[in-house]
Amino acid sequence: MRDILAIIFAFRRAIRISSDDHIEKIFLEPNLCGYRSIIANAEDRCCGYGSEAIMDDNAIAAAKEVMHRHVQALNARDAAAISKTLHFPHFRLAGETVKIWETPDSYLKDFHARAGDTWGHTEWGHLRPLQSEARKVHLDVMVNRFDKSGQPLVSFQSLWVVTRIDGVWAAQMRSSFAQEARQ
């Protein structure tokens, strides 16, 4: 559990805004002394850090499919379908707060509390693979929430980690810059 929390906090620093308002991605690369940061400009279309990027097209396709099913289930308010798109325990880091759902029971109710009473639906602005391998994909996600009349409520970036466990692809954790709903 402690290792997973350390990973989540590392992901929290995975996307930052530089002093000139350009979005940068910070990648952690293992080395003999632990990890070192590698920074790449977000406009760099290499989806990783240069020629060393790890990319698996099949894993990326599976992760994106999970994300599409997730947002469809969320918008349909279908708790059973949402639970099929998440591995449990599921982790969310927003600000300095880590939320852990051990089981799917309260996930949708917690989402509604975060999104607010006026939430109507959510759309992905983008799903950009940052890194992937055969059993794990890191996605840069732009989350766009709209009210019941279709007007924008909020947009924020989020880093999602989608993994294949026991042959099942689902989101295992994420870190976002989401603000709590304004009721």
For 142, other C-beta atoms within 10 Å of its C-beta total 14
Eight-state DSSP code of residue 168: E
The pLDDT value recorded for residue 101 is 92
Query: Which pTM was predicted?
Result: 0.70
The pLDDT confidence band at residue 174, using thresholds 50, 70 and 90, is very high
State the pLDDT at residue 21.
40
Domains of the chain, with CATH numbers?
Answer: 53-176 (3.10.450.50)
- pLDDT value at 73 more than 90: yes
Q: Is the pLDDT of residue 57 over 60?
A: yes
Q: For residue range 99-109, what is the model confidence (pLDDT) as tens digits? A: 999 999 888 88
Q: Which amino acid is at 152?
A: P
Q: How far apart are CA 86 and CA 81, in angstroms?
A: 9
Average pLDDT of the residues in 79-93 = 95
CA dist 165 → 92, 129, 172 (Å): 18, 19, 9
> How far apart are the C-alpha atoms of 29 and 31, rounded to whole Å?
6
